[in-house]
Structure 1
Amino acid sequence: MHGMSFHFGFREVILFDKWRTTDLTGILWSMIGIIVMGVIYEALKNYREYLNFRTSVQKMTAPRRKRMFSSVHVFQTVLQGCQAVLGYFLMFIFMTYNVYLCIGVVVGSMLGYFLFGWKYARCDVNECCS
């Protein structure tokens, strides 16, 4: 146990008891997995924004009940749940305070934004904008 300070250790339990690292190789493979998780998180976020943008005209013309229970809205709700779970997983990984794993979280977020964020980049009420 390393306490609440950043460290460079190789021995970590990541999210689940079965996901353990004991050496540099384990940390590097875990970083790759974490980067993929970050990319998927950004892909989900941008895909949801795309669906929201694509269906925004329909949302204004259809009755509330039809909009709320539309297949697109239900699908977006499921995607929101997946995005939330991934987001919390990434936060918990960062909270290991392992510098290598934290770098994986940040690189995954950056790579995901690079790959997907340019298409629909705009100010989102859920993000900080200045």
Structure 2
Amino acid sequence: MDHGGHGGMPMPAKCSMNMLWNYQITDTCVVFRSWHISGAFTFVLSFLIILLLGITYEWLRKLQRALDIQTAQRITRASSPSIPMEADNENGTSPLIGVAPKLYPVPEGARIRRAVLYGLSTFLSFFLMLVFMTYNAYLIAAVVLGASIGHYIYGEQIEAEAILAGSGDSAKPISCC
């Protein structure tokens, strides 16, 4: 009995599952069996897609920060327009430092937008973690390079006072947990 032949039918390419650091290009599947790297072209395409996903994650973080700033400005303007936001010239401190933070209710529309952006960024961070778990050095490099490029592009401003006060998160990395 001959078990070697399959009647001339081509065998589907197999996804290799590596649990160790590797440099394999062909037969690597990225997250899904259908995302199969079968050669140089699909490898380059996959690398670029993963790079763009890393950049997109940083864009989402910037969008979240911008929405939070916009929401905070609207809330504080509507509830207490008389609070001076500039530093006190005598001692260089802000009039709000040392004061317990006041919590404001977030309007429903802003809460929905914040929740959607949070969900998208959480999904994307877990997705990039799964790419990392291929243990493929090239794909890991694409994630790190994409995050770095995105941080460079979208990290042009920092909240210096918040960072010095210990409450800034401008350097928060991609995280899954």
CA shift digits 1:49-107 (9 cap, x unpaired)? 1111122133453963xx2x521221111011011111111010011000110011011
Q: Which has the higher helix share?
A: 1
Larger radius of gyration: 2
Quick one: structure 1 residues 125 and 38, their matched pair in 2 at CA, closer, same or farther if it must change by over 3 Å?
closer
CA shift digits 1:94-128 (9 cap, x unpaired)? 11000110011011101111110113465318937
Give identity over the alignment, percent: 25
The yes-or-no answer on 1:57 pairing with 2:73 is yes
Note the aligned Cα RMSD (angstroms): 2.3
| Partner Cα separation in structure 2 for residue 46 and residue 63 of structure 1 | 22
Quick one: structure 1 residues 103 and 125, their matched pair in 2 at CA, closer, same or farther if it must change by over 3 Å?
closer
**Which residue pairs with 1:6 in the alignment?**
21
Structure 2 unaligned spans of 5+:
1-15, 80-102
**Which residue pairs with 1:127 in the alignment?**
172
> Once structures 1 and 2 are overlaid, which stretch shifts more, 90-99 or 47-56?
47-56
Is the 2:55–2:147 contact (alpha carbons within 8 Å) kept by the matching residues of 1?
yes
Q: Which of 37, 50, 65 pairs up with 2:53?
A: 37
- Mapping for residues 16-95 of structure 1, pairs under 5 Å: 16-59=32-75, 61=79, 64=105, 67=106, 69-95=107-133
Q: How many residues align?
A: 125
Which stretches of structure 1, 4 residues or longer, exceed 2 Å deviation after superposition? 1-4, 57-64, 119-123, 125-128
| Partner Cα separation in structure 2 for residue 125 and residue 36 of structure 1 | 20
Quick one: structure 1 residues 27 and 109, their matched pair in 2 at CA, closer, same or farther if it must change by over 3 Å?
same
> Once structures 1 and 2 are overlaid, which stretch shifts more, 2-11 or 79-88?
2-11
Structure 1 unaligned spans of 5+:
none
Instruction: Name the TM-score, length of structure 2 as normaliser.
Output: 0.63
Letter in 1 for 2:108: S
| Partner Cα separation in structure 2 for residue 96 and residue 83 of structure 1 | 21
